[in-house]
């Protein structure tokens, strides 16, 4: 499909591509807000990868994209840059029937009863990390949250327990993650191209040992006598069957495992860092979340609202991207986009609309106390058939990490509001969310009572009737599904 040129598309900044790329990298929020102010809710940027991107900031256009259907809205093509790392069979790279098949195989592992099984891991990983923090210590929260979310994702996905195996895997995963979190690596890929010998050599050095280790873990788990009753994602995927009774192949499994590590770790850590950055700079909100965390209650409504507000105000991914396969009309009928156009619903711009969120730059968890966020106006996890598979997992994890952290330590800010900066793919606090540990607190008795009760419900908790060992069925190449979006809402 021929990609349209800038001349075929809605207006946008006239600066050369390099100048736009520089602003996209260094000041993404200011860059996007400036263009919306100048051009309105639809504008075209000459994107860093050399192809135009039509940015959409009106919820009506976001709806058009998210409800556009699998055949019209291709996301796999738009994620090509990640292919050398996640592999060509990753859910991120697939479209239409193959994408839906993989989605149905993956989704059950992140929903319902299965989520509950991961709560203990989330709490333990947080407690272990936060118990090393000393009174008076100054820390950059981002690095600490990365340590927690990496451990959580490795244990929840691979079911690898403490010890040498976890240590080895952690090292290899960290090396792989530098490919997407280290700017110099990403810039080299952009400038030299994903196929350049230097890029390929670096990638091979980071990926080959991880692939070998993953192959070993998969083979061992496949042969494990308890594989059908284990709750980790790898075991569930090994037992999953599509409608033709076929399991995921070894190559597919490898690509999905790397995808989950990549998609689930950095995003959650960055959002948690932002949440603590915002809370420590808003003492009243921090006091309310802390009171909830120490109350022993199962539900933490204000903490959930604070997480939702953080996801609104500090969306770590500013856009999602689709390539349209047939003409689409946006901008209330003003723009007819030709087939082949890449469109980008902007999470960041939708979340900062004053008509939806009065005083949009203010951090106010209260906005979300009165009910669930609305479809197409709160889109931190994207939407439609591509909505984030790990959205419920991430929200549960963030709640549990906040709970365990604030039950154990009192924090105060170091410095003022932190600027938004880019850490390769995600937007993070410039100084890593700097805080000082004021004092340590013994977790209260109710917290232990709650642990025994074992009732944990993530926001939007979906009921599930599947037993842990029930095989997961997915339809190969079909578009029918009970809930292919993985969401109770339609976004
Ligand atoms: C705060 C944390 C997270 C945020 C903000 C986030 C955000 C997103 C976004 C914006 C998308 C693209 C959606 C679209 O194109 O419409 C996405 C996709 C995805 N995410 Fe997440 N995510 C988070 C955590 C996770 C976790 C914990 C996992 C799994 C362990 C995960 C797995 C995935 C996968 C597999 C996809 C691809 C879905 C598909 O193409 O069908 N994410 N996520």
Beta strands in 347-444 (DSSP E): 409-413, 420-423, 426-429, 434-440
For ligand 1, say whether the CB of 382 is within 6 Å of any of its atoms: yes
Question: Which residues, 6+ apart, have CB-to-CB distance to 167 below 8 Å?
Answer: none
Please give the biggest Cα pair distance in the chain.
66
pLDDT band per the 50, 70, 90 thresholds, residue 4: confident
Looking at the chain, the whole-number percentage of residues with pLDDT higher than 70 is: 87
Task: Report residue 342: phi and psi, to 5°.
Answer: -95, 125
Residue 473: predicted pLDDT? 41
Relative to the CA of 379, which ligand 1 atom is closest? Answer: 10
Identify the CA nearest to 490 among candidates 374, 361, 347, 360. 374
Distance separating alpha carbons of residues 407 and 430, to the nearest angstrom = 26
Q: Kindly state the average pLDDT of the residues 22-36.
A: 94
Q: Which residue has the higher pLDDT, 4 or 30?
A: 30
Tokens 């195989």 locate to 105
Distance separating alpha carbons of residues 180 and 186, to the nearest angstrom = 6
Q: Report which secondary-structure segment, H or E, holds 187.
A: helix 183-192
Residue 489: predicted pLDDT? 37
Question: Which residues, 6+ apart, have CB-to-CB distance to 228 below 8 Å?
Answer: 235, 239, 469
Q: Is the confidence at residue 335, as pLDDT, over 90? A: yes
Nearest-CA residue for ligand 1 atom 43 is 388
For ligand 1, say whether the CB of 320 is within 6 Å of any of its atoms: yes
Our measurement of the distance from residue 234's CA atom to the centroid of its chain's CA atoms, rounded to an integer in Å, reads 19
Nearest-CA residue for ligand 1 atom 20 is 388
Residue 273: predicted pLDDT? 98
Residue 480: predicted pLDDT? 30
Q: Kindly state the average pLDDT of the residues 413-433.
A: 93
Q: Do residues 395 and 387 touch, judged by C-beta distance below 8 A?
A: no
Nearest-CA residue for ligand 1 atom 18 is 388
Residue 7: predicted pLDDT? 77
Task: Report residue 22: phi and psi, to 5°.
Answer: -60, -45
Q: Is the confidence at residue 438, as pLDDT, over 80? A: yes
pLDDT band per the 50, 70, 90 thresholds, residue 289: very high
pLDDT band per the 50, 70, 90 thresholds, residue 186: low
Nearest-CA residue for ligand 1 atom 36 is 388
Beta strands in 80-162 (DSSP E): 138-140
For ligand 1, say whether the CB of 121 is within 6 Å of any of its atoms: no
Q: Is the confidence at residue 286, as pLDDT, over 80? A: yes
Q: Kindly state the average pLDDT of the residues 217-225.
A: 91
Distance separating alpha carbons of residues 477 and 488, to the nearest angstrom = 22
Q: Do residues 352 and 360 touch, judged by C-beta distance below 8 A?
A: yes
d(CA 197, ligand 1 centre) in Å: 30
Distance separating alpha carbons of residues 206 and 200, to the nearest angstrom = 10
CB atoms within 10 A of CB 75: 22
Relative to the CA of 153, which ligand 1 atom is closest? Answer: 30
Q: Is the confidence at residue 483, as pLDDT, over 50? A: no
Q: Is the confidence at residue 239, as pLDDT, over 50? A: yes
Domains and CATH numbers, the chain: 6-474 (1.10.630.10)
d(CA 14, ligand 1 centre) in Å: 32
DSSP state for residue 3 in the 8-state scheme: P
Residue 449: predicted pLDDT? 43
d(CA 267, ligand 1 centre) in Å: 8
Q: Is the confidence at residue 140, as pLDDT, over 60? A: yes
Nearest-CA residue for ligand 1 atom 24 is 264
CA distances from 35 to 11, 52, 76, 316, 372 (A): 10, 14, 27, 19, 30
Q: Is the confidence at residue 120, as pLDDT, over 90? A: yes
81-115 pLDDT, tens digit each: 788 888 889 999 999 999 999 999 999 889 888 88
347-386 pLDDT, tens digit each: 999 999 999 999 999 999 999 998 778 889 999 999 999 9
Relative to the CA of 347, which ligand 1 atom is closest? Answer: 10
Residue 466: predicted pLDDT? 29
37-69 pLDDT, tens digit each: 999 999 999 987 788 999 999 999 999 999 999
Residue 57, classified by CB atoms within 10 Å of its CB into exposed (0-12), middle (13-18) or buried (19+), is buried
442-482 pLDDT, tens digit each: 876 544 444 444 444 444 433 333 233 333 344 433 333 33
* Mean pLDDT rounded to a whole number for the chain: 86
């Amino acid at each position: 499909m021929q990609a349209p040129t800038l001349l075929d598309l809605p207006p946008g900044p006239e600066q050369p591509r390099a100048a736009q790329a520089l602003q996209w990298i260094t000041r993404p929020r200011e860059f996007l807000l400036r263009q919306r102010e100048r051009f309105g809710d639809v504008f075209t940027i000459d994107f860093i990868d050399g192809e135009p991107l039509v940015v959409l900031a009106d919820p009506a256009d976001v709806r058009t994209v998210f409800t556009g259907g699998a055949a019209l809205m291709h996301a796999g093509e738009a994620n090509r840059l990640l292919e050398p790392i996640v592999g060509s069979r990753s859910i991120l790279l697939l479209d239409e029937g193959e994408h839906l098949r993989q989605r149905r195989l993956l989704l059950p592992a992140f929903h319902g009863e299965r989520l509950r099984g991961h709560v203990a891991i989330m709490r333990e990983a947080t407690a272990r990390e936060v118990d090393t923090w000393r009174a008076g210590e100054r820390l950059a929260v981002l690095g600490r949250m990365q340590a927690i979310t990496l451990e959580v994702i490795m244990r929840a996905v691979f079911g690898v327990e403490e010890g040498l195996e976890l240590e080895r895997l952690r090292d290899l995963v960290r090396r792989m993650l530098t490919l997407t979190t280290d700017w110099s690596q990403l810039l080299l890929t952009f400038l030299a191209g994903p196929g350049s010998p230097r890029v390929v050599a670096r990638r091979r050095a980071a990926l080959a040992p991880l692939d070998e280790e993953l192959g070993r873990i998969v083979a061992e788990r496949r042969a494990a006598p308890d594989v059908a009753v284990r709750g980790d994602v790898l075991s569930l995927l090994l037992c999953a069957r599509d409608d033709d009774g076929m399991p995921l192949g070894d190559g597919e499994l490898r690509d999905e495992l790397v995808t989950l590590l990549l998609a689930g770790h950095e995003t959650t850590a960055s959002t948690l860092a932002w949440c603590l950055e915002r809370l420590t700079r808003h003492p009243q909100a921090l006091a309310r979340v802390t009171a909830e965390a120490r109350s022993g209650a199962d539900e933490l409504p204000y903490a959930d609202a604070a997480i939702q507000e953080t996801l609104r105000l500090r969306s770590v991914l500013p856009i999602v991207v689709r390539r349209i396969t047939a003409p689409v009309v946006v901008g209330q009928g003003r723009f007819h986009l030709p087939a082949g156009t890449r469109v980008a619903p902007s999470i960041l711009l939708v979340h900062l609309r004053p008509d939806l969120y009065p005083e949009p730059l203010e951090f106010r968890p209260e906005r979300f106390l009165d009910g669930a966020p609305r479809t197409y106006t709160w889109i931190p996890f994207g939407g439609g058939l591509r909505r984030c598979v790990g959205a419920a997992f991430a929200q549960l994890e963030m709640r549990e990490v906040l709970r365990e952290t604030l039950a154990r330590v009192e924090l105060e800010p170091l410095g003022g509001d932190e600027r938004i900066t880019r850490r390769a793919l995600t937007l993070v606090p410039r100084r890593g969310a700097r805080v000082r540990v004021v004092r340590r607190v013994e977790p209260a008795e109710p917290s232990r009572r709650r642990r025994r009760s074992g009732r944990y419900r993530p926001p939007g908790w979906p009921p599930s009737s599947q037993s842990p060992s029930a095989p997961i069925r997915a339809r190969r190449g079909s578009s029918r599904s009970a809930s292919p979006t993985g969401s109770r809402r339609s976004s």
